[in-house]
Structure 1
Amino acid sequence: MSTVVCPVDEAHALHLDAVDPLPARRADFHVPPTTAGGYAEVAYLAGNSLGLQPRATRAALEQELADWARLGVEGHLEAGRPWKPYHELLRDPAARLVGALPAETVVMNSLTVDLHLMMTSFYRPTPERYAIVVEDSTFPSDSYAVQSQARLHGLDPAEAVVRLRPRPGEDCLRTEDVLGFLRREGHRVALVLFGGVNYLTGELMDVPAITAAGRAAGAVVGWDLAHAVGNVPLRLHEWGVDWAAWCHYKYVNGGPGAVAGCFVHERHIADRTLPKLQGWWSTDPATRFAMGPDVAPVDTADSWQLSNPPILAMAPVLVSLRMFDEVGMEALRDRSVRLTGYLADLLATACADVSARVITPADPRRRGCQLSVRITRTPAEEVCARLRHEHGVIADARPPDVVRFAPVPLYCTHHDAWRAATALAAVLSSGPLSSGSGETHDA
């Protein structure tokens, strides 16, 4: 830890909450209960894995269930929010959240399905240009996906997939090293696919710089924004990103396994030469129910859709997207910088004498709200179990040695951050776990 000294008293945390210019909307969410540490609610710092449930979600789902009960099949056209065009309700708020044009945005499927659909169109290897560049610590599902795409094209993943590693002794990739690789080796790169925020380290990648370098090298540049959407401001259209995909169940609080989203830049959406997997919802909605045998293409991201929208999965996402519209991503980012900076200072002070080290970049411009702490001497799963059972703090373990804390600005408070830092210091300063089990969550 660094030598930063921060007041570690509870009163200071409560004061910061009282004077914050954008208070948390904690009352708008269901916060899990606890009895640990004398608290009624947990300090929930695992929104990087699964966001909390907005209180408005239940009513939205109940409306769809009531319309289904009342109308049956007629709900496709007569429900309060008709089901046939339901995905269109999510288009504009999703586009605003990622900095896209509405025509470039579609909410559909799950994240890895969308990654495969995008790579079907945009990974077109040749004998000279075939490499897929990822960060070495990319999320395993992305690693599996790019390896399988290489195999589909008859390539050896060990040769086709290039994994960029941090410098020896460092935890995060340097932007200049990524740009240097693309200048030197870009002639053989077909696709660059990084996570906007790395799931393990919490590093916010320089999306505009890497996108520009990749495209200048002649590659297609895509982004997995699972840990970036709802966490940091994005301007995908302005930055010239070729395509991106993301989920809505982390920072966007759309529920476990929530339907995902896709972006395709407008320069591609009218390109009829791009190969695509297609289905019923890929065709022009004006003639969809004519039931013809051939697709009538549309020049929007909708043309990458396959199936009719899952209404009960989309309703929670719609609720959450509207909440982001109400608050604004820029205001949330400002609050996130304050809140995450406070937690970083607390960790540096409270844990100065224990075996813990923050591996997330210290520069707020190079991180979102996640702070990853590398623990020595005690397994990360054991630490997270003790945080929950002894202190009522829910964090997230990435075995073997990383504990992730995400003070999500929508619902976390400075007091939550104080509870997390002081609990971690207490756990690491005490003896080994005597009961309970380790816990991990989704990425």
Structure 2
Amino acid sequence: MEEAIQLDQRYPGTLRDEFNIPTFQSMGLPYSDADDGNKSVYYLCGNSLGLMPKNTRNAINAELDAWSERGVESHFRHPREEDGFASWVDIDLPAMPLLAPIVGADIDEIAIMNSLTSNLNALCVAFYKPKGARNKILFEKSAFPSDYFALSNQCRIHDLDPQETLIQLSPRPNETYLRTEDILQTISENKDNIAMVCLSGIQYYTGQFFDIEKITKYAHQYPDIVVGWDLAHAVGNVPLKLHDWGVDFACWCSYKYLNSGPGGIGGLFVHSKHANDVTRPRLAGWWGNNASQRFRMVEIFNPIPGGLGFRQSNPSVIDVVALKSSLELFKRFGGMNSIRDRSLYLTNYLLRLLKASRYYYDVDKVNPEVLGFMIITPVYNDQDHGAQLSLRFYPHHQDNPEHDTMEQVFKYINTRGVIADERRPSVIRLAPAPLYNTFQDVYHAVKFLNEAMDVLSTRTCS
């Protein structure tokens, strides 16, 4: 514990006081007295839902006041316009300069809109163009189910059999994550058949950070292959340079590391090389139409060049200002490079504590019948992971949760204030978020994890 306190003093750069940190009392967890009830929990679940910035409430209330005071006219005449508040017709535009550097894009390459999967579907409609034998979609096996559903149904939309059209990459036997060279080799072997590569920037289950630049550049050797990325777990987590890397398209949610709130508004990126391709068929709506013609109600679709031309409907005012309140904190922190520096300090400290546990298994020394855990995230190089480390627990009894190690560990640490994320069948994900997590949060998470394993070890021995 002393080391964690010292590390928090040595690396104090955090905006923790700008966030609402849940307490033992607010979480309904057991505590002994009022002081313990007011103690903050150890929230290492920003990879699933980021915590609420304190200013989000004010930002939302200001728009509720505008609705209350001026109703529909706030679309063009916001009551607090003199204080810098945007009228609702342009509510997303002030957030775009804050978001663009987080994803490494020009402002006109992005749009704040819809949800992650809606945006993925919309982008696939525009960019997946199977022609004859060139109809394959390359992505990873065990991608987030929503991605699988979207991509497999894109095949069906084009009267293609997903079983024959989807190329899913799996790790090598006895390995837990994909090797970049295997991805490149698969692209090479299928260069005449792949129409689209669509991988996760960071794999949700393993926490692997794919080499977006190298994979994109390699695939683009073959001019007819387009490359897109699902950045749900990468945006706000690791520095991105979508424009410089030549990515064709990307999409993301904002409720994880971007802290926009549950179900918060998503976003997309379309590279400027496609900006003026107004002939590209897309899912269209009036908010993607030429803004000067939008309210003339003409039946001529003249899309705005770039990302804004992919918008379909006016974005939710409440969702946009919630996102903006968090993006302002990213700017205040100093941008993604500063965030990444602190993130690596936290995650590498977590890694060191986990490896010091007597229950830790190296990947090549796992005995699935003996109590322990291994880290399935690539951790040999900082560039191979983000904030998240994924732990697989043994022994595993999927059909009997009362005796399943992961289930029991998760329950134990949760009741002691460690808010983490379980992913069946056997994984717990821990993700210290640099904007609000501390080294002491990390210390307590591993402390209670080891305690849980000790308890299970005693039960096993008895």
Q: TM-score when scaled to structure 2? A: 0.89
Determine the structure 1 residue equivalent to 2:423.
398
Aligned pair in 2 of structure 1 residues 270, 433: CA closer, same or farther (>3 Å)?
Answer: farther
Native 8 Å contact 1:387 1:423 kept in 2: yes
TM-superposed deviation, 1:283: 0.6
Aligned pair in 2 of structure 1 residues 183, 77: CA closer, same or farther (>3 Å)?
Answer: same
Question: Residues of 2 paired with 1:37 and 1:62: CA distance?
Answer: 33
Determine the structure 2 residue equivalent to 1:341.
348
Equivalent position to 1:15, from 6, 14, 17: 6
Equivalent position to 2:158, from 128, 153, 162: 153
TM-superposed deviation, 1:37: 7.2
Question: Residues of 1 paired with 2:454 and 2:6: CA distance?
Answer: 27
Q: Which has the higher contact order (CA 8 A, sep 6+)?
A: 1
SS in 2 for 1:375: strand
TM-superposed deviation, 1:294: 1.6
Q: What percentage of residue pairs aligned between the two structures are identical? A: 40
TM-superposed deviation, 1:215: 1.4
Determine the structure 2 residue equivalent to 1:426.
451
Question: Residues of 2 paired with 1:428 and 1:126: CA distance?
Answer: 54
Equivalent position to 1:96, from 101, 105, 130: 101
The residue identity in structure 2 corresponding to 1:112 is T
Q: TM-score when scaled to structure 1? A: 0.93
Question: Residues of 2 paired with 1:176 and 1:230: CA distance?
Answer: 26
Deviations along 1:255-288, one digit per CA (max 9) or x if unpaired, are 0000000000001111122111111101111121
Number of aligned residue pairs: 423
List runs of 5+ in structure 1 lacking aligned partners.
Answer: 1-9, 435-443
SS in 1 for 2:164: helix
Question: Residues of 1 paired with 2:377 and 2:312: CA distance?
Answer: 38
Alignment of 1:428-443 (within 5 A): 428-431=453-456
| Residue 310 of structure 2 is aligned to residue 304 of structure 1 | yes
Question: Residues of 2 paired with 1:351 and 1:405: CA distance?
Answer: 19
Determine the structure 1 residue equivalent to 2:193.
188
TM-superposed deviation, 1:313: 1.1
SS in 1 for 2:428: strand
Determine the structure 2 residue equivalent to 1:388.
414
Q: Which runs of 4+ in 1 moved over 6 A?
A: none
TM-superposed deviation, 1:180: 1.0
Alignment of 1:23-422 (within 5 A): 23-34=13-24, 36=30, 39=36, 40-79=39-78, 80=80, 81-217=86-222, 218-327=224-333, 328-352=335-359, 355-362=372-379, 363-377=381-395, 378-389=404-415, 391-422=416-447
Question: Residues of 2 paired with 1:128 and 1:287: CA distance?
Answer: 41
Native 8 Å contact 1:384 1:394 kept in 2: no
The residue identity in structure 2 corresponding to 1:15 is Q
TM-superposed deviation, 1:300: 2.0
The residue identity in structure 2 corresponding to 1:356 is F
Question: Residues of 2 paired with 1:49 and 1:424: CA distance?
Answer: 19
TM-superposed deviation, 1:352: 3.7
TM-superposed deviation, 1:379: 4.4
Deviations along 1:312-362, one digit per CA (max 9) or x if unpaired, are 111110111111111111001001111100000001113446501111111
Q: RMSD across aligned C-alpha pairs, in angstroms?
A: 1.6
Aligned pair in 2 of structure 1 residues 145, 406: CA closer, same or farther (>3 Å)?
Answer: same
Native 8 Å contact 1:350 1:422 kept in 2: no
Question: Residues of 2 paired with 1:395 and 1:319: CA distance?
Answer: 24
List runs of 5+ in structure 2 lacking aligned partners.
Answer: 81-85, 361-370, 396-403
Question: Residues of 1 paired with 2:207 and 2:148: CA distance?
Answer: 18
Question: Residues of 2 paired with 1:379 and 1:293: CA distance?
Answer: 61
TM-superposed deviation, 1:36: 4.9
Question: Residues of 2 paired with 1:169 and 1:400: CA distance?
Answer: 17
Deviations along 1:175-203, one digit per CA (max 9) or x if unpaired, are 01101111121211011010000000000
